[in-house]
Chain A
Amino acid sequence: MSDATSARMIRKSLDDAPVRVVSARANLRTRLRNLWSRRELLTSLIFSDIRIKYKNSALGIFWSMLSPALTLGIYDLIFSVIIKNGYPNFALYLFSGLIVWNMFMTAVNLATGVIVDRAGLVKKVSFPREILALANVGASVVYFVIQLGVLCIFLLALGHAPAWGYLWLLPISFLALYLLTASVAIVMSAITVYLRDMKHLMEVLLQLWFWLSPVVYSYQHTISARLHEHGLTWVYFLNPITPIMMTFQRIFYVKTTVLSTVPPHPVLHILPNWTASSYLSMNLTLLGIMVLLFLSSLMIFGRLEGNFESEL
């Protein structure tokens, strides 16, 4: 009896409980607040995603290092050994670009189908749906951190110091990368509900995107002169991955001008010779744009999610 009475006392406190409103469309502020209030769910989903991915594989999470390492080995073999591009320490150059690309690609690939794949959940349990895409992004952040660790070990093994004067740019650049990845992941996850082809189309688009980003080649050395000649430099820099990647390369590859390893050892301009402050202003501008992009992606998602129920 006293139990029931005390329970009633607790229930009475509902007078002061906050009121949640379910209405036609939540505004951006509410969306952000809802996301923030469910951050524990996000963490839960990230780690369950990772656990599921490696559940039945013998090497487990080790694959998140092994598969980029194998990709790295293949590109190194092709471009450095077979094509002989002459970049000294090419593996390091590749690694600094691939680490950025892997984070973006892994998350977008996973997130593109995530709402369709988890339709059962989306139709029956209430939570901010963009968390599903953000969980994929979160998992790829975890892989990113692991790969960053491997990169550090790589640097130590080579006795190669990062550019200390630029290292502080890393968090800004990473934040921009995170917001870009999250925006694309969120929008793609919603669009795929309406157009199931997106999953296949995205695979091709990501391939194209990869070659438009300076991962296996150097923008400065290979194409900057020709782009400049046609006044198309700005088009190349519409790809937000490029400035992020170049910052990473500047930090970890360090050298802007090197001597080719291929005789007669000409001088190669691998990275632009910009100062730290121009890298900073580039990254800050990018970060600003990415914040806007992220907010718009949430709004787009909000518009699209209204009809998920009838499309899934």
Chain B
Amino acid sequence: MTIVIDVENVSKQFKIHHERSQSLKERLLHPKSGSTEVFDALKGVSFRVSTNETVGILGHNGSGKSTLLKCICGVLQPTSGEIRLRGNLAALLELGAGFQTELSGRDNVYLYGAMLGLSKRHVDAIFDNIVAFSEIEHFIDTQVKFYSSGMYVRLAFAVAVNVDPDILVVDEVLAVGDERFQAKCVDKIRTFQEEGRSILLVTHQADQVRALCDRAIVLDGGLMIANGSVQDSLRIFREHLLEDAVLHDRIGHQADVAIESITTPSGSFDVRSGAAMHFDVNISSHTAYSGNFVMEIFTRGGLLVSRSDSQASPVNLTPGLNQVGVDLAQIPLLDGVYDVNVGVVDHHGTVIAWKEQAASIQVTYNGREGGIVELGASIRQL
């Protein structure tokens, strides 16, 4: 395991001009007009990424995750601190940013390849793969300005993933393109993981981090507040998101709601597949509050198995301790450990209280079906 990205105590400050004056006249006439504010986008962030590791970077808007990524890619220079990189890096900060719309797709592939640091001979060798991946064979000699946005994005992604990077940096680009293309991107990322490459994935979709990452980093206001397992980081991310919501939301602060604990009558979370299950969830509240209860069940691999209907589970909380009962008529899950998240949301679906990994259910199954759910398929020859 070689360390390929070593971020050491990186800080980045931006000068923000209020009342920007970029004309000479303005600067000559009012040399001191407009105040300049220094904004700390990153404050002493340090972490490392090794080969064969996929690390997610979580954070809400303005948390500094894009700045961090730009520093790692070398688009921005940190104000202080150092980033050491090993191996070549391909960044997908914005698909097609390097494209010249006047040139044909073919010319752009070569130009973009050169931007990513490839020789012409190298691009010659991978050109067919790029075109095949992008699925725009017929239009490769058309000027890019006539491309549809989908074609544009596909071509850019095809170049970036075919350059054989040791480190792939992806910034929310998986959110573009149609579903089939997204699936293709995720597939490609999985292939990269199998090949032992390092991937840095920036997103604010918790599901994506769960599904793809080995580890996650959480940024908040330029500070790194978590660097650990996906579950821990997601928990911290959710909690911070809540704190922020409480601070910023006028309605939110009235309801000081917290999930205290989750218990079963027997005290055990082991269950046979197909059996019924009952949870008691203890929720404390400082004021009376009415919202909806929601429960999620995940596999350890990070796949969402089920989310309860948050529109139709009203709870009316009274000040003090409240108890909510959850009945599962039967659990059709197969062997494995499943994590349970519970929370309270308001009528708009905004999370008021949340407990990540509130419980883990251990399901035992004696049959021979494989996967995560028992469908009980009966097969007969007709």
Which A residues form the contact surface with B (CB < 8 A)? Answer: 3-4, 7-8, 11-12, 14-15, 17-26, 38, 40-41, 43-45, 48, 51-52, 55-56, 120-127, 194-198, 201, 305-307, 309-311
Distance in Å: Cβ of B356 to nearest Cβ of chain A: 33
Instruction: Tell whether A4 pairs with B74 under 8 Å between CB atoms, given A24-B79, A45-B111, A310-B15.
Output: no
For the complex, give the distance between the alpha carbons of A55 and B166 in Å. 36
Asked whether, in the complex, the Cβ of A40 is within 8 Å of the Cβ of B119, the reply is yes
Q: Which residues of A contact B166 (CB under 8 A)?
A: 11, 14, 17
Which B residues form the contact surface with A (CB < 8 A)? Answer: 2, 4, 14-17, 22-25, 27, 51-52, 70-87, 91, 93-94, 97-98, 100, 102-103, 107, 110-111, 114-115, 117-120, 166, 194-197
Q: Which residues of A contact B103 (CB under 8 A)?
A: 48, 51-52, 55
Asked whether, in the complex, the Cβ of B194 is within 8 Å of the Cβ of A4, the reply is yes
Asked whether, in the complex, the Cβ of A14 is within 8 Å of the Cβ of B4, the reply is yes
For the complex, give the distance between the alpha carbons of A125 and B113 in Å. 12
Task: Out of A15, A124, A305, A309, name the residue touching B94 (CB < 8 Å).
Answer: A124
Q: Residue of B at shortest CB range from A195?
A: B24
Distance in Å: Cβ of A9 to nearest Cβ of chain B: 9
For the complex, give the distance between the alpha carbons of A132 and B205 in Å. 36
Asked whether, in the complex, the Cβ of B91 is within 8 Å of the Cβ of A126, the reply is yes
Asked whether, in the complex, the Cβ of A196 is within 8 Å of the Cβ of B22, the reply is yes
Asked whether, in the complex, the Cβ of A11 is within 8 Å of the Cβ of B107, the reply is no
Distance in Å: Cβ of A120 to nearest Cβ of chain B: 5
Q: Residue of B at shortest CB range from A8?
A: B196
Q: Which residues of B contact A55 (CB under 8 A)?
A: 102-103
Q: Which residues of A contact B117 (CB under 8 A)?
A: 38, 41
CB < 8 Å A-B pair total: 139
Asked whether, in the complex, the Cβ of B23 is within 8 Å of the Cβ of A127, the reply is no
Distance in Å: Cβ of B11 to nearest Cβ of chain A: 9
Distance in Å: Cβ of B322 to nearest Cβ of chain A: 49
Asked whether, in the complex, the Cβ of A121 is within 8 Å of the Cβ of B114, the reply is no
Asked whether, in the complex, the Cβ of B111 is within 8 Å of the Cβ of A20, the reply is no
Instruction: Tell whether A20 pairs with B195 under 8 Å between CB atoms, given A14-B51, A48-B107, A124-B98.
Output: no
For the complex, give the distance between the alpha carbons of A195 and B20 in Å. 11
For the complex, give the distance between the alpha carbons of A198 and B317 in Å. 65
Asked whether, in the complex, the Cβ of A48 is within 8 Å of the Cβ of B52, the reply is no
15 cross-chain CB contacts under 8 A: A12-B51, A17-B166, A18-B86, A20-B84, A21-B84, A22-B72, A22-B85, A24-B80, A48-B111, A56-B102, A122-B75, A125-B97, A125-B115, A195-B27, A198-B24
Asked whether, in the complex, the Cβ of A23 is within 8 Å of the Cβ of B82, the reply is yes
Asked whether, in the complex, the Cβ of A121 is within 8 Å of the Cβ of B79, the reply is no
Asked whether, in the complex, the Cβ of A11 is within 8 Å of the Cβ of B91, the reply is no
Q: Residue of A at shortest CB range from B17?
A: A310
For the complex, give the distance between the alpha carbons of A198 and B103 in Å. 28
Asked whether, in the complex, the Cβ of B100 is within 8 Å of the Cβ of A52, the reply is yes
Distance in Å: Cβ of A57 to nearest Cβ of chain B: 12
Q: Which residues of A contact B118 (CB under 8 A)?
A: 40
Q: Residue of A at shortest CB range from B120?
A: A40
Q: What are the nearest 3 A-B pairs in CB distance?
A: A124-B97, A126-B74, A7-B195
Q: Which residues of B contact A45 (CB under 8 A)?
A: 111, 114
Instruction: Tell whether A21 pairs with B83 under 8 Å between CB atoms, given A44-B110, A51-B103, A310-B15.
Output: yes
Asked whether, in the complex, the Cβ of B196 is within 8 Å of the Cβ of A4, the reply is yes
Asked whether, in the complex, the Cβ of A307 is within 8 Å of the Cβ of B15, the reply is yes
Instruction: Tell whether A22 pairs with B77 under 8 Å between CB atoms, given A4-B194, A125-B91.
Output: yes
For the complex, give the distance between the alpha carbons of A192 and B14 in Å. 19
Q: Residue of A at shortest CB range from B88?
A: A17
For the complex, give the distance between the alpha carbons of A195 and B75 in Å. 21
Distance in Å: Cβ of A170 to nearest Cβ of chain B: 30
Distance in Å: Cβ of A122 to nearest Cβ of chain B: 8
A23-B78, A40-B118, A310-B15 are known; give 9 further A-B pairs, CB within 8 A: A3-B195, A14-B2, A14-B51, A14-B86, A20-B74, A21-B83, A23-B82, A38-B117, A126-B75
Q: Which residues of B contact A44 (CB under 8 A)?
A: 110-111, 114-115, 120
